[in-house]
Amino acid sequence: MSSVKVKLKDGSVKEFPRGTSFLAVAEGISRGLAKAALAAKVDGEVVDLAQPLNQDAELEILTFDTPEGQDTFRHSSSHILAQAVKKLFPGTNLGIGPAIANGFYYDFDSEHVFTPEDLTKIEQEMDRIVKQDYGFERSEVSREEAIKFFEARGEKYKVELVQDLPVDAVISMYRQGDFVDLCAGPHVPSTGKIKAIKLQSVAGAYWRGSEKNKMLQRIYGTSFPKQAELEDYLFKLEEAKRRDHRKIGMELELFSFHDEGPGFPFFHPKGMVLRNELENFWREQHKKNGYQEIKTPIILNRSLWEQSGHWDHYRENMYFTKIDEADYAVKPMNCPGGILVYKTRLHSYRDLPIRMGELGLVHRHELSGALHGLLRVRNFTQDDAHIYLLPSQVKNELMGVISLVDYFYTVFGFEYHVELSTRPENSMGSDADWEMATNALQEALEAKGVNYKVNPGDGAFYGPKIDFHLRDCLGRTWQCGTIQLDFQMPEKFDMHYIGEDGQKHRPVMIHRTIYGSIERFIAILTEHYAGAFPLWLSPVQVRVLPISDRHEEYARNVAAELSTADVRVEVDERREKISYKIRQAQMDKVPYILVVGDKEVESRAVAVRRRGEGDLGARELDEFVQQVIGEIAKKL
């Protein structure tokens, strides 16, 4: 028998007889590895461990510590879920059941509506299947066999899937016990590998993600090789939920929602401090970067929206009203208003690029089921700007905006990912314009060395866009910053500038935001810091706690001094024990707590307590004031 060589991840090369299974290879490397092995990655392709080694290859044995190993593990878990559901609810038809970021799901079509109690029963059945330790057996079948197989079982969704597979696709089936499913694989060797399973929720999901199709029932779950890992994960989930901006926002009195205005947030005094700080920082940076600021009306005549294309492409999301019998719309975007400002005078090519910013309040009709705290609302303030420029300036300007976005996110310590969204279905303009615009965005990203993924068909109706996505406490990502390149609006509004040749020329337009929406950004900030905002953003920066009422006057003097230095300060004059006030201030996440008693009054000092660090001891008042001013200025 001939032998073949495998190159392992650590660079070493080993020889095995041709036809050795990858599981045997893993055993040849180490017993521990074989036990933890879930799948194999051979020359970049992930396959079952039962597959034979047929030729020289680069090989990685995948365990739960690798992303591919986890996916395989979760995917196998979803098959076990399907098997359990078929057993307990025999009439059920199967949709699809993939692995997802932190678990898996399976879509079912069933007369029976799954309840939370059912999930417990299904979990028990899954545990039984795990104990049986069925092997996952792969087989390859012809298209006809596959269709016949699923038709015989009434699995219409599976039949549809098979029919839609590409002509040259290898069609494979996986069997564990008496359960067989259409599946490309790979899978873990046997059900016994999936030691710890938790079904988390049931949700409706349209077949193939289209609202035109039937809604199926999707069961979400997660799984781990060890019970302890599952518990650890569930605990972390609970922890993450404690960061939820909706909860913290209420506790810290930042904002509220009311039945009288679903999706319309109310900002409270402390939330306004945050907003204003964000806006101040925004204005300061934009001024520095050559932006001007404008403010345009919220309600504008319908004709404007017809001209801009919003009437044709965005009507579903807009609110309308009548004024003196004429039709008006509440703006869902700021661009048409901004364009009117541009058009109030002639512009020379020498003036371009013109960067016009607007903190604009827009209203959009979001589906009721889509509303989500401050992360998805029906009115929000975009930190918008429209840049009018020469075609030759596009790339440079785009690179500048990308840098500005990166600068902002860095200040807040955010990590983000970038997507390039291309032409959607219901859009306007020529293919050539779209291609040009998309290429320009792509070139700018590449010139900046930014990693990005393409998000096909997700652009705005007037142009492609670069989206910047931030994470919430549960790992869901939300689009915040966006940069959109637009050749359509200048056309629609017959915009121009006077060129070197004295003739009229068409400018190009960039729409961009950095925060995206102030509301959404505040939500992300709140979750990112778990409500413990950095000093410069904190609604209350310092709280002074007099030990007894004879220290109140001094406490007020301390506060006055800080206040004069533009520090946001409060005095807790309640007649409570000092430890009670400290507890309170800590829970309110105030960055600096100043305790003042006899000693401090005597020496004009303050006893400083820093959030997260505890008691720092006494300090001269003036010294403390200077220190705080310095820290605020440095945006600490």
For residue 335, indicate whether it is catalytic: yes
Rounded to a whole number of angstroms, the minimum distance from the CB of residue 29 to RNA is 38
Rounded to a whole number of angstroms, the minimum distance from the CB of residue 262 to RNA is 4
For residue 476, indicate whether it is catalytic: no
Encoding tokens for residue 520? Answer: 């959404």
Rounded to a whole number of angstroms, the minimum distance from the CB of residue 45 to RNA is 27
Choose one: 74-82, 175-183, 200-208, 622-630; the region binding RNA (CB under 7 A).
200-208
Rounded to a whole number of angstroms, the minimum distance from the CB of residue 68 to RNA is 22
Question: Whose Cβ is closer to RNA: residue 203's or residue 228's?
Answer: 203
Select the residue interacting with RNA from 337, 338, 357, 516 (CB under 7 A).
516
Q: Name the β-bridge partners of 512.
A: 385, 483
Q: How far apart are CA 400 and CA 444, in angstroms?
A: 9
Question: Whose Cβ is closer to RNA: residue 161's or residue 582's?
Answer: 582
Choose one: 77-85, 227-235, 300-308, 474-482; the region binding RNA (CB under 7 A).
474-482
Site for RNA in 178-197 (CB under 7 A): none
Q: How far apart are CA 163 and CA 144, in angstroms?
A: 9
Q: Residue count at the site for RNA (CB under 7 A)?
A: 79
Examine residue 198 and tell whether it contacts RNA (CB under 7 A): no
For residue 382, indicate whether it is catalytic: yes
Rounded to a whole number of angstroms, the minimum distance from the CB of residue 117 to RNA is 10
Select the residue interacting with RNA from 45, 615, 622, 623 (CB under 7 A).
615
Question: Whose Cβ is closer to RNA: residue 486's or residue 519's?
Answer: 519
Please name the residue that has the structure tokens 């121009």. 496
For residue 245, indicate whether it is catalytic: no
CB 74 within 8 A of CB 103: yes
For residue 511, indicate whether it is catalytic: yes
Catalytic residue among 83, 176, 382, 488: 382
Closest Cα to residue 335, out of 366, 313, 357? Answer: 357
Examine residue 610 and tell whether it contacts RNA (CB under 7 A): no
Site for RNA in 439-458 (CB under 7 A): 458
Q: How far apart are CA 234 and CA 221, in angstroms?
A: 11
Rounded to a whole number of angstroms, the minimum distance from the CB of residue 15 to RNA is 46
Examine residue 101 and tell whether it contacts RNA (CB under 7 A): no
Site for RNA in 106-125 (CB under 7 A): 113, 115-116
- Would you list the DSSP string of 602-631? HHTEEEEEETTTEEEEEEEHHHHHHHHHHH
Examine residue 486 and tell whether it contacts RNA (CB under 7 A): no
Q: Name the β-bridge partners of 517.
A: 382
Is residue 50 classed as helix, strand or coil in its secondary structure?
A: coil
For residue 622, indicate whether it is catalytic: no
DSSP H helical segments within 327-430, as ranges?
335-342, 394-412
Choose one: 42-50, 59-67, 353-361, 511-519; the region binding RNA (CB under 7 A).
511-519
CB 388 within 8 A of CB 345: no
Closest Cα to residue 92, out of 77, 78, 107, 72? Answer: 107
CB 130 within 8 A of CB 194: yes
Rounded to a whole number of angstroms, the minimum distance from the CB of residue 366 to RNA is 5
Examine residue 570 and tell whether it contacts RNA (CB under 7 A): no
Q: How far apart are CA 249 and CA 531, in angstroms?
A: 8
Closest Cα to residue 374, out of 468, 465, 473, 279? Answer: 473
Mode of pairing for the β-strands spanning 508-517 and 354-363:
unpaired
Examine residue 246 and tell whether it contacts RNA (CB under 7 A): yes
The CA-CA-CA angle for residues 386, 391, 393, to 5°, reads 75
The residues annotated as belonging to the active site are: 335, 364, 382, 384, 386, 465, 511
